[in-house]
């Protein structure tokens, strides 16, 4: 089953003596460089293309507040537009003031 009396031979590990000399690699690279076909010389250089300065984009209106002919207030945000009379406008202002005061109270409580 087991051969206890068999002679043990250590495996051969590589040593520095197994490394080839570095001169051989440099000589081989030098020989390979002589076999390279060079690019042909450029006979004429193409002209530089004309660059065109980019045109500035037209300005985009994000919101607009104005008054119509019949004295109504018009408010446009994006593609949506709201038109209201003076009573509706006053109610909108009151609601915004209320929301603003509620936000300020919440910020005071958080601090």
Between 93 and 22, the more confident residue is 93
96 has pLDDT over 70:
yes
Domain coordinates in residue numbering, the chain: 86-111
| pLDDT tens-digit readout, 46-69 | 888 888 888 888 877 788 889 889
Q: Give the Å distances, CA to CA, from 9 to 12, 16, 21, 53, 87.
A: 9, 21, 29, 79, 106
% of the chain beyond a pLDDT of 90: 11
Between 42 and 54, the more confident residue is 54
Provide the whole-model pTM: 0.39
């Amino acid at each position: 089953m087991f051969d206890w009396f068999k002679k043990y031979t250590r495996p051969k590990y590589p040593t520095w003596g197994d490394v080839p000399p570095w001169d051989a690699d440099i000589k081989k690279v030098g020989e390979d460089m002589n076999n390279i076909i060079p690019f042909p010389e450029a006979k004429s250089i193409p002209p530089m293309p004309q660059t065109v300065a980019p045109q500035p984009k037209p300005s985009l209106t994000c919101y607009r507040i104005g008054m119509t002919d019949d004295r109504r207030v018009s408010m446009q945000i994006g593609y949506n537009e709201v038109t209201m009379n003076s009573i509706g406008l006053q109610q909108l202002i009151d609601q915004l003031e209320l929301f603003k005061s509620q936000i300020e109270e919440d910020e005071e409580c958080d601090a």
